[in-house]
Amino acid sequence: LNKARAGYNLLDDEDRHPVLGADTVVVVDGEILGKPENAEHGKAMLARLSGTTHQVMSAVALMGHDKKAVKLNISTVRFCPLSATDIDAYWAMDESHDKAGAYAVQGQAARYIEEICGSYSGIMGLPLFETAGILQEFGITPY
C-alpha cells in the first residue's frame, strides 16, 4: 500500500488515476527473505531454501482518490536439495539478483522446484487473480 500511495502522490491532481503497487517476500521457517544484498547473501538464501518448503507472499494494493484496497496471496514452494555447484551456477546466471529469496520461478530456478501449491503469478511477484479482483473493486475492467 505504501508503494501505491507513494506513486499516487507523485501524480498531478488533474492526472490522478489509481496506482497499483506490489511486493513479494519469501518466508522459510519464519524467516523473511527479501532481495539479496550481494553474492554471498544470495547464495546463502539459496542454500537456506535447498531441500525445503517455503512460502512466497505477494501483496498487491491499489490506491485511488478516496479508496484503497489490498490483497495478499500466499503460495507454497518446495525446492529440491541444491549442491554448492548448483547454487554457484544459478547465481552466475544473474537472473536472481533482484528477486525475493534470490530466485526467479519463471527462469532457470524452475528446474529446482519440485512442487508449487498456489499461484504461479503470485510467486513471480504479481498475483494476477488478486490484481484482477482489486481492479474490479475500482470499476476497472482488467482486459
Residues belonging to the active site: 23
Angle between helices 84-92 and 39-49 (to 10 degrees): 130
DSSP 63-99: E-SS-EEEEEEEEEEEEPP--HHHHHHHHHT-TTTTS
Which residue type is seen at 112? Y
Residue 137 one-letter amino acid: E
CA–CA separation, 11 and 56 (whole Å) = 31
